[in-house]
Structure 1
Amino acid sequence: MPHPIDLALTASLIGDATRAGMLSRLLEGPARTAGELAREAGISPQTASGHLAKLLEGNLVRVEVQGRHRYYRLAGPDVARALEALSLLVPTRVATVRVPEPLRFARTCYDHLAGTLGVALAEGLEKRGLLESGEDSYALTPEGTRFVAKWGVDTQTLSQGRRAFARRCLDWSERRAHVGGALGAALAERLFALRWIARRPRAAECGSPSRAGGASRSRWGCPGREARRLTQARAFAAPMRAASRRTVACSSS
């Protein structure tokens, strides 16, 4: 167990509203510069830099230098899990803040899919007998291992890493579980690599190819030259459709 003083110091870093907002933005999307975080928080760049320096000192974020730019991201998956867990303890306001539909539908939580899309994927895999749920983790069945291997996910390599194989993460907007850990990250990475979902600039939105209806392909992250992959994508998206009858905008802002 951590020393109470150390725990209090970490809690004080997260407890500041501005820093909590910065961490939430880094949890939901890609790395950001200090300037971007400042604009999103409505504060000056100097104030943002001061907050980020404290978060760096507390090992809650890390920085990557690319040329003239410094990009901040969460220090690791442990920080992401802690923030997710804290979000579940937030009391419900009398005037409930409405979660934007694109953000609620789908977002990247650190490096894995969350929101309606992430939950539907997890529940669909369970219903098909490909994934088994434990108290705080998932396990692939033999059939599930073969299934994800077809899509280029090397489960043997994932299981040998230091990271937990498949965590059962309680989704803050859906209040149901999605797949985190190494498996969740690998599934998300593969879907992005296959371009069956894609990030939008700035808002980091992604789209599902299994959308019913006549929405434009560009809205769902399916460029015209990728249209031939839609049939294959629908086959992979079957677990998601099994758990959710509707598929709408996929976004992690």
Structure 2
Amino acid sequence: MSLPGLDNSPFALEEALSAVASAMADPSRARMLCALMDGRAWTATELSAVVDIAASTASAHLTKLLNSGLLVCVSQGRHRYYRLAGSDVAALLETMMGVSMKGAQSPATRTPVALRQARTCYDHLAGEIAVDIYAFMQREGWITHDGSAVTDHGKRSLEKIGVTLDPRSRRKPCSACLDWSERRFHLGGDTGAALLIAFEHRGWLKRTPGYREVTVTEEGKAGFLRVFGVATGTL
């Protein structure tokens, strides 16, 4: 994520950081950002509906988020679609969600059950299943202890379940992403994104359009248990 308006003045970084924080410091804009955490591109009309504000108000909010570098706009025909500017923005939002929940007396019980069990974190999986998969991959040596790289053993194991990694990707191979509801790590980066794609292709997960929650299928319950030793219970 690049900070807008960064120049050579002595306080350029602080001022740019303040501008980003200001862009997020509104409940309606925060709800828009949270909605876009499902990894999809939304129209202004869709975002105004989910936030429950007038279209003109939504447009003003989107302009501020665009100018801050948090969103990008993609035009397709007569339509304009808004999405998060990148995985780094998604990681920032996920971290802020975790920080925001720290003051809650019982964070586990205050988190919606569906979101806690399984959800998307931009382009990778989050929630109970995701943190258990991360723990398995760490324990079995598929990833390094700090979650910053996939081991050779991990690459071979991932290939067996149809996970294809892009060696030319400019993203981090993988990263430990702090899960805001579980307070443990799930897998982000290129590997985290590739895993989510593989889970969908294998029919283990089904995404709900417009929401971050995902549904684990019967095939998924069996697959997660067989490959990762993760029991999904009543999901």
Task: Provide the TM-score with structure 1 as the length reference.
Answer: 0.78
Distance 1:154 1:94, change over 3 A: closer
Identity of aligned residues (%): 39
Partners in 2 of 1:235 and 1:48 — Cα distance?
Answer: 42
Q: Which residue is equivalent to 2:120?
A: 108
Q: What is the DSSP-based 3-state SS (H/G/I as helix, E as strand, rest coil) of the residue aligned with 1:3? A: helix
Matches within 5 A, 1:117-156: 117-134=129-146, 137-155=147-165
User: Does the aligned pair in 1 maintain the 2:142–2:155 contact within 8 Å?
Assistant: yes
Closer, same or farther: CA 154–44 of 1 in aligned 2, 3 Å:
same
Q: Does the aligned pair in 2 maintain the 1:124–1:238 contact within 8 Å?
A: no
Residues in 2 aligned to 1:79 and 1:173: alpha-carbon distance in whole angstroms: 18
Shift of 1:153: 2.6
More divergent stretch after superposition (80-89 vs 1-10): 1-10
- Cα RMSD, aligned residues only: 2.5
Aligned to 1:52: 62
CA-to-partner distance for each residue in 1:34-61, whole Å, 9 max, x for gaps?
1221122121111011100111111111
Is residue 203–residue 217 contact of structure 2 (8 Å, CA) maintained in 1? no
Rounded to whole Å, the distance in 1 between the matches of 2:208 and 2:96 is 28
How many Å separate the matches in 2 of 1:129 and 1:167?
A: 15
State the secondary structure of the residue aligned to 1:38.
Answer: helix
Structure 1 alignment gaps of length 5 or more: 211-229
Higher relative contact order (CA 8 A, sep 6+): 1
Matches of 1:105 and 1:81, distance apart in 2: 19
- Answer whether contact 1:128 1:239 (CA < 8 A) is retained: no
Single out whichever of 48-57 and 34-43 deviates more from structure 2: 34-43
Q: Aligned residue for 1:92?
A: 103
TM-score between the two structures when normalised by the length of structure 2: 0.84
Q: Which amino acid aligns with 2:103?
A: T
**CA distance in structure 1 between the aligned counterparts of 2:106 and 2:148, rounded to whole angstroms:** 35
Q: 1:218 maps to which residue?
A: none
Task: Give the one of 162, 165, 172 matched to 2:170.
Answer: 162
For residue 66 of structure 1, the aligned residue among 67, 71, 76 is: 76
Cα offset, 1:9, TM superposition: 0.8
Instruction: Compute the displacement of 1:172 (Å).
Output: 0.2
